[in-house]
Amino acid sequence: MRKRSSSGTPSSPSSSEASVFVVSDGESEAFDPSGASESSPEPEAVSEPESEPRGAKRKRAAPTPKGKGKAKAEIIDIEDLGSSVHRPHARGYHSTAAVAGAQDALLDWFEGVRDARGMPWRKRYDAALSMDAKGQRAYEIWVSEVMLQQTQVATVIPFWTSWIARWPTIGDLATADVEEVNAAWRGLGYYRRARSLLDGAKAVAGKKSFGGRLPDDPDVLEKEIPGVGRYTAGAITSMAYGVRAPIVDGNVHRVLSRLLALHAPQTAPATIRFLWDAATVLVDALPRGQGRGIAGDWNQALMELGATVCRPTAPECGACPLEQVCKARAELQAPPPPPATPTCDLCAPIPAPDGAETIPSVTVFPMKKEKKASREEHEAVCVTEWRGPEGPKWLFTKRPEKGLLAGLYEPPSTPVAASSSDKDKLAASLATLADLLDSHEVTSHVTHTPVPHIFSHINMTYHVQHAVLESDEPPTLKSDRAAWLDADDVAAANVGTGVKKVWAGVYGAWGRFAAGKGVKPAPQKAKPKAKPRAKDTPKGRGLTQTKLSLAGPKVKAE
């Protein structure tokens, strides 16, 4: 029998907040204990804000267990229900001692499933490898961890394989540019992740003390490499270098919450600190004579358990190697014993709609998060097509390198108010074109049906215009972020899903370049008036609306 080090309840919260839960901007998408274990949203149909709160990011609330009624997206108000499960307990009830005593069971289970999902980056730790070879493993694990944020394993495998074939080492990646990595990332969504890998590789290449590899110290890795937070640092160093570093991602958060029956606000600093402390205690409790790779195996085992067995909904408790030490499972039969010490200062009441004396399902752990309403945004988008002797070309602009959909290409777009009239939206598009092009007349124009698109926290509506310009030469560009692209360039451009939807609204499908049957403009309430008066001219744009008028004598309907 292996000798275990002592373990117990994680320490109480300290006064410091800095080390509670450090999540990189990229990691925040991966941390969601109540969402799907490996969520795979529609590629690129998610927002990529410049920065994220350093905490868990909501995907969706876990559905109510079978037979318990329709799922609620928000936390149930205990006062409205009038009752909650009676489970008085002390903080010591959440001790990790029982789990530490069953670590062999989880490690043995992991040995049987280690290769079940065919992940090429999952390799056994080899202490005999040189530091350079371990650094190569660290690079491969890092790429996989970033790709797996918000994306399923089956989807990631071919992308990871292609990425490693193109940039076999971190040094090779450091020589790439953002256009190349975005092109390689196309189809995965969350393009900020690709930029994070590129920036991290350049940081490694730019510091001689790193020796061309990711650091083997998790604190240095987290501090020095852009986009690496505490979770990714722990994953890389434990799996590649054999460091006893804990991890807490969405899967581990959910598994520990159930094993310890912790029903506390998911993103509260005290909750996150407690779970990191628990993860640290468990890593430290691993036997010392089993080789340095045991910490990486333990961390992978916890994640694999959360991904395949201890799922957000429909968990397979009967197949869990830790079922006998799971406090959530035990509470299906009876509540915890009354405390002899003060009650737990972490847990919130568990709703009991039917006056139940025990929990209805282990899926009440972790505590559900309140749904936050997505904000509404509107943009006027002008698909601008030039027709001339060289063949058609389309005007595209490149988004800023930081922020929503960073570095991607799109037709000229500008934010507009939801309440703005069609005339105001058209004027906004004209003003945007005037900022991008020297004076030129629009020869035909069509307003298309608005296109809705959902990001992770934004409900976007694109108000689509299709403008055609005709001349011997494409109009001169006034911005270095704008470009005229031919059909091949458009097809190869790095664009988001929203742009593809807009394009399909104009031409029938992404990859088509002429309107086909079934593509209809939006219904027009009234015909355009004659040439706009001077007071309608946008101010400070360098072009008069007369020159870009969509209603003057040179305008013809498509």
CB 413 within 8 A of CB 56: no
- Classify each residue of 114-151 as buried b or exposed e, where b means 16 or more C-beta atoms within 10 Å of its C-beta: beeeebebbeebeeeeeeeebbbbbbbbbbbbbbbbbb
Q: Kindly list the structural domains of the chain, giving each domain's residue range(s) and its CATH number in brackets, ordered by start.
A: 73-87+94-122+252-371 (1.10.1670.10), 128-241 (1.10.340.30), 375-536 (3.90.79.10)
Give the pLDDT score at 354. 72
pLDDT per residue as tens digits for the range 283-314: 999 998 777 789 999 999 999 999 999 999 99
- Measured in residues, the chain has a length of 558
Check residue 31 and give its pLDDT.
56
493 falls in which pLDDT band (50, 70, 90)? very high
- Nearest residue to 336 via CA among 554, 174, 344: 344
Task: Round to whole Å and give the CA distance between 412 and 398.
Answer: 9
- Backbone dihedral angles phi then psi of residue 182, each to the nearest 5 degrees: -65, -40
Please say whether the dihedral angle defined by the alpha carbons of residues 34, 317, 244 and 108, taken in this order, is positive or negative. negative
Q: What DSSP character marks residue 549?
A: -
Distance CA 294, CA 300 (A): 10
pLDDT tens readout for residues 55-69: 333 333 333 334 444
Higher confidence at residue 537 or residue 118?
118
Please report the sign of the dihedral spanned by the C-alpha atoms of residue 246, residue 252, residue 254, residue 257.
negative
Rg (CA), the chain: 28
Give yes or no for residue 93 having a pLDDT over 80: yes
**Nearest-angstrom CA–CA distance, 419 and 414:** 15
* Alpha carbon distances (Å) from 497 to 46, 188, 191, 394, 509: 9, 11, 12, 18, 12
What SS3 state is found at 50? coil
Of the two residues 524 and 366, the one the predictor is more confident about is 366
Question: pLDDT at residue 26 above 60?
Answer: no
pTM: 0.74
Determine whether 180 is an active site residue. no
Question: Is the predicted pLDDT of residue 3 greater than 50, yes or no?
Answer: no
Model pLDDT, residue 519: 57
pLDDT (0 to 100) of residue 466: 96
| pLDDT averaged over every residue in the chain | 83
Mean pLDDT of 344-351: 93
Packing angle, helices 153-166 and 131-147, rounded to 10: 130
Higher pLDDT, 24 or 190: 190
Q: What are the tens digits of pLDDT across the range 117-150?
A: 999 999 999 999 999 999 999 999 999 999 999 8
Q: Rounded to an integer, what distance in angstroms lies between the CA atom of residue 524 and that of residue 521?
A: 8
Q: What pLDDT does residue 424 have?
A: 94
Highest mean pLDDT among 29-33, 50-54, 240-244, 526-530: 240-244
- pLDDT tens-place string over residues 311-338: 999 999 999 999 999 999 999 998 888 8
Percent of the chain exceeding pLDDT 90 equals: 65
Q: Which residues are CB-contacts of 68 (< 8 A; sequence separation ≥ 6)? A: 360, 361
Closest CA to 197 of 145, 246, 137, 135: 145
Closest CA to 201 of 173, 229, 178, 163: 173
pLDDT, residue 32, reads 64
Give tens-digit pLDDT for 386-438: 999 988 999 999 999 888 888 899 999 999 999 999 999 999 999 999 999 98
pLDDT confidence of residue 401: 85
- Which residue among the candidates 29, 38, 52, 145 is catalytic per the annotation? 145
Of 354 and 130, the one with more pLDDT: 130
Whether the per-residue pLDDT at 98 is higher than 50: the answer is yes
Cβ-proximal residues to 82 (8 Å cutoff; 6+ apart), any chain: none
d(CA 523, CA 293) in angstroms, rounded, equals 65
Please check the confidence at residue 278 and state whether its pLDDT lies above 60: yes
Higher pLDDT, 537 or 449: 449
Average pLDDT value for residue range 491-513:
93
Give dist(CA 58, CA 367) in Å, integer: 12
* Rounded distance between C-alpha atoms, residue 416 and residue 432, angstroms: 12
- Rounded to an integer, what distance in angstroms lies between the CA atom of residue 406 and that of residue 409? 9
Residue type, 434: A
d(CA 197, CA 195): 5
For the cut 70, the answer to whether the pLDDT of residue 513 exceeds it is yes
